[in-house]
A and B are shown apart, each in its own frame.
Chain A
Amino acid sequence: MEKNLGKIVGVNGNLLTIEFDKPVVQNEVAYAILDGFRLKSEVIRIRGNRAEAQVFENTRGLQIGGVVEFTGTLLSVELGPGLLTQVYDGLQNPLPQLAEKCGFFLQRGTYPRALDAEKKWDYTPVAEVGDTLKAADTVGTVPEGIFTHRIMVPFGLAGKLTVEEVVDAGSYTVDQIVAKLKDVSGNTVEVTMTQNWPVKIPIKAYDERLKTEEPLVTNVRIMDTFFPIARGGTYCIPGPFGAGKTVLQQITSRHADVDIVIIAACGERAGEVVETLREFPELRDPRTGRSLMERTLIICNTSSMPVAAREASVYTAVTIAEYYRQMGLDVLLLADSTSRWAQALRELSGRLEEIPGEEAFPAYLESVIASFYERGGVVRLNDGSTGSVTIGGTVSPAGGNFEEPVTQSTLKVVGAFEGLSRARSDARRYPAIDPLESWSKYPSVVGEEDLEVGRRMLRQGNEVGQMMKVVGEEGTSMDDFVVYLKSEYLDAVYLQQDAYHEVDGATSADRQQYVFGKITNILRTKMNFKEKAAARTFFQNLTQATKDWNRMVVNSDEYKQSVKQIKQMLVEVSVHE
């Protein structure tokens, strides 16, 4: 086929203006040719015989008159076995392979293939000759680590397809044909283990979308109990720099009760990805006993990597998440930070000289954010099983002020808001989720009645605390003072959690229910103290004992001992009416 070529007539940062004569498709991929290298770009605006394309690389050295090759295909990812454990950049270039080729530095115009073409997979056919299939039905399976990876009828195919040929069970590469199908017009479709899918279009080859109602346990107490997230739901973590967004995402990526975790490191520090990269292979997944890396995939487009690819990276990540969802798996996508992606949109919008909205973000920011989070959800697949994509994104608001476009647009669409506060992180009260500002629309792992006791205590305690700043301890009544101490106690032993402690670092739903029950009992207990100093000492000791208890393995001897000890401590101060 003859190539569709264009000519560069303008270069402004990473934005090219290209003159063309043959038809060009909006959002198609085009390559700018430079000294034999091909720089990948995406067409983003067409006017007359001019196309504007954002280049995913540094544009240094490009010239007027330079050649651009249009491909006719939209920006896509390759889907198939072997994605898990990989580390890709935002355009799905495998970074380890790139390193093998180019050494320490990234080299523009180098795009190794996303999947290994040599590797053989143990294929088991599922569909038989004569079967009638439709898009996303399973043709066969291969084991990918701990998962059964479904090889599916390409998602883009329409109508009914008849299976004409299948291969025997055996070992095949991703490019070998495993089945031939005939579509309604009689065309033959060859199925291999891979298919491409354009990243900006959601995969919709499923039966129906279901309601999100089941909690997704993260093992972080303040989240699961107070501000829960749900399987197939969405949530955001806004917070000023250093408040603990990334650490919270890292904890979640380890402990969340899902099958697969996709980490999209979007415009943040490379060093943070390296920690995951180097540590996960060594860490055991308590659910499977296998290395955590086996259920993890990293899309890594860190802050010094090309900005346009940063925008693509969240779409690459969510498309791969949807792909695994199609296999009946629960996938959690963690994006850090969505603000960097929004900033990439802003940079581009500025170059396109679009009319800016608030803080120069483009006017369509809100709808772009909304349609991204809409890709989360629980679905019933063709075979009746369910799969889900849960999306959690951090937000990095300028100046730590939540009244800014990205935070506000995100809050409108997500189901839970885990807002981090500077005051709490300064006080080293980790995780620094603000218990008074945050909210969630999803069901908690504990009962509503207990939850209300906890919430009320936090609110009242805060009020007393504020008042005490003015009138001092001397001017505060004993009853108020005890309310204050109780709220501080709840904060210290339940909201705060030592992320780096082996036991305290992850609290199961069962344990949360049990512990929270005990604690709300304490909060409900009417107590009597002679003086404030005695009350303070009592709560200091109780806090110490409860924190120790948090560090003990469930149902160990010392654990049971602790339960008794705490009960005993309480008896000594409670008032019986």
Chain B
Amino acid sequence: MNKVYHRIEKIAGNVITIKADLVKYGELAVVSSGFGTSLANVIRLEHDNVSLQVFTGSRGIATDAKVRFLGNPMQTAFSESLLGRIFNGIGIPRDKGPAIKDNMTDIGGPSVNPAKRIIPRNMVRTGIPMIDVFNTLVESQKLPIFSVAGEPYNELLARIALQAEVDVIILGGMGLKHDDYLYFRDTLEEYGALSRSVMFVHTAADPTVECLMVPDVCLAVAEKFALKNKRALVLLTDMTNFADAMKEIAITMEQIPSNRGYPGDLYSQLASRYEKAVDFDGNGSITILAVTTMPGDDVTHPVPDNTGYITEGQFYLRNARIEPFGSLSRLKQLVNGTTREDHRQIMNTMIQLYANYKETLEKQSMGFRMSDWDSKLLKYGGRFENELMDLSVNIPLEQALDLCWTILADCFEPAEAGLPTKLIDRFWPSKG
């Protein structure tokens, strides 16, 4: 049944074109040539011309390479035995374990019916005060980490993964440095989390097309876990590499770029992945945290810009700290009303005071005179940065809130903080 085709008409970039019939749009094929075999998928049909993007790239493909169509689109296996395992971007084992072929399912499946969605309601505790107190992460949220190269974003991802209360961790690496890949593997192993993790890793040395599959494979697996009543956390790093891979293919296919070379459907492409984040009513959930590096620290670059329009807030990682300004969890108000009664108020007050501190810093640098109030703010800002913003701080939400009160009490008189009297009476620490 699976006819084999031999004549390749055209090879350009990672795309080959052959003459074939009865091929389905989106179908997968195996291309074998002297240099080895690779998967490829159909991205265009035009009469009997079939264009395929070859996962390992077109290097070494001969004009008489064999192309065998498989009759199905790209799929991924799903079973509990995925846990603890490491694969490449298209599901081939990277560790020494056996291949897994259970319950093959199509990737990039249909989206959830909005009418079946529910309003998210569970906080995901991370032990990081800048998240728990100020930008609370919510189950089923989709949130990127915006940062520049060189920031410890992978360390942050790993920490959140280890400390978050989730059932399954799915890590998707795109263009990951080999060292970073080993870092994730070893860290998950060291803290005993590998057994509840699955890793799909495309490293910088692997073929570009495989990079494109990573988010879909991860999310398809996450969806299956979620439908089995598991809380799945999907970590994607780095989505900018994913977007760049799309750019590369688009240019090969001679698509007209819209903005700095990126294809016009960048928004839709990113959205169809991020929108997989969901809380299934009466079942599991998918939460997505995705690193998005900003070329040139420019948030208006098309990748972070389009991402910001899609996700439910963002964490800005700068100077190894989550910035209080710019960082935002758009879902926080859905959960922080029921954590502790002082949560919302403390969150706002601390940030307002920190903003005042920043203004004072500016005045100081301009050489303007420092008032009493300014000195208090300077003391406050220093403690805020060291005791709350520093990423090594690792305390539960309640303890972090208590710490906020301690810092306030050490720096200010109760009336200066601008908090409601009711809360001050209950929470303001007595001196001494």
Contacts and interface: CB of A to CB of B under 8 A. Distances in A.
B309 A396 contact: yes
Contact of B120 (A271, A304, A356, A401): A271
Nearest to A246: B330
B100 interface: no
Interface string B103-123: 000000111111111111000
A303 B115 contact: no
B47 A64 contact: yes
A63 B119 contact: no
Interface in A276-302: 277-278, 300, 302
Contacts, number: 168
A305 B116 contact: no
Classify the interface of chain B: helix, strand, loop or mixed. Answer: loop
B7 to A, nearest CB: 17
A332 interface: no
Interface in A239-258: 240-242
B229 interface: no
B313 interface: yes
Contacts of A61: 24-27, 73
Contacts of B44: 10-12
Contacts of A99: 113, 115-116
Contacts of B275: 269-270, 302-304
Contacts of A356: 256
A304 B25 contact: no
A149 B319 CA distance: 61
Among B23, B25, B306, residue most surrounded by chain A Cβ atoms (within 10 Å): B25
B48 A64 contact: yes
Interface stretch (A101-109, A187-195, A205-213): A101-109
A464 B313 CA distance: 34
B264 A104 contact: no
Contacts of B265: 307, 343, 347
The SS class assigned to the A binding surface is: mixed
Nearest to B44: A12
Question: Chain B, interface size: which category?
Answer: 35 or more
A274 interface: yes
A495 to B, nearest CB: 19
Nearest to B51: A12
Contacts of A302: 111, 114, 275
A375 interface: no
Contact of B110 (A64, A108, A350, A360): A108
A186 interface: no
A360 B256 contact: yes
Given A242-B308, A303-B275, A346-B258, A105 B112 contact: yes
Contact of B114 (A10, A60, A87): A87
A222 B276 CA distance: 37
Contact of B302 (A240, A398, A474): A398
B111 A106 contact: yes
B271 interface: yes
A240 to B, nearest CB: 8
B116 A63 contact: no
Contacts of A143: none
B312 A102 contact: no
A60 B73 contact: yes
Contacts of A398: 259, 300, 302, 305-306
B111 A242 contact: no
A346 B47 CA distance: 25
A242 B114 contact: no
Interface string B288-316: 00000000000011100110111011000
B271 A105 contact: no
Size band of the interface chain A makes with B: 35 or more
A572 interface: no
B141 to A, nearest CB: 9
Contacts of B309: 241, 396
A350 B265 CA distance: 10
B384 interface: no
**Of A61, A270, A277, A340, which is in contact with the most chain B CB atoms at under 10 Å from its CB?**
A270
Interface string B356-393: 00000001001011000000000000000000000000
Interface in A257-279: 267, 269-271, 273-275, 277-278
A95 interface: yes
Contacts of B268: 267, 303, 307, 343, 347
B267 interface: yes
Interface string A1-43: 0000000111110000100000000000000000000000000
B272 A303 contact: yes
Contact of A300 (B46, B114, B300, B363): B114
B255 interface: yes
Q: Which residue, of B24, B44, B325, has the highest number of chain A Cβ atoms within 10 A?
A: B24
A304 B366 CA distance: 49
Nearest to A96: B115
Contacts of B46: 9-10, 12, 17
A399 interface: yes
B22 interface: yes
Contact of A11 (B45, B255, B264, B325): B45
Contacts of B257: 360
Interface in A94-123: 95-96, 98-99, 102-108
Contact of B23 (A63, A102, A303, A360): A63
Nearest to A358: B258
Contacts of B47: 9-10, 64
B256 A63 contact: no
A62 interface: yes
A398 B309 CA distance: 9
Contacts of A72: none
B218 interface: no
B189 interface: no
B49 to A, nearest CB: 9
Interface in B320-374: 325-326, 328, 330-331, 363, 366, 368-369
Given A10-B45, A10-B46, A274-B117, A105 B24 contact: no
A399 B368 contact: no
A198 interface: no
Contacts of B271: 267, 303-304
B410 interface: no
A517 interface: no
Given A241-B309, A270-B275, A398-B302, A64 B113 contact: no
B326 A426 contact: yes
Interface in A396-420: 396, 398-401
Contacts of A346: 258, 264
A304 B264 contact: no
B280 interface: yes
Interface string A57-83: 011111111000000000000000000
Nearest to B270: A303
B310 A271 contact: no
Nearest to B333: A500
A359 interface: yes
Contacts of A278: 118-119
A62 B113 contact: no
A242 B258 contact: no
Contact of B305 (A104, A241, A307): A241
Contacts of A58: 110
B64 interface: no
Nearest to A305: B111
A472 B368 contact: yes
Interface in B231-266: 255-259, 263-265
Contact of B112 (A87, A270, A350, A472): A270
B21 interface: yes
14 contacts: A10-B45, A12-B45, A17-B46, A64-B47, A65-B21, A87-B114, A95-B114, A103-B116, A106-B111, A241-B309, A271-B120, A303-B310, A305-B111, A400-B305
Closest 4 CB pairs of A and B: A399-B300, A303-B271, A304-B275, A60-B26
Given A61-B24, A242-B313, 5 more contacts: A61-B26, A64-B23, A65-B22, A105-B113, A473-B368
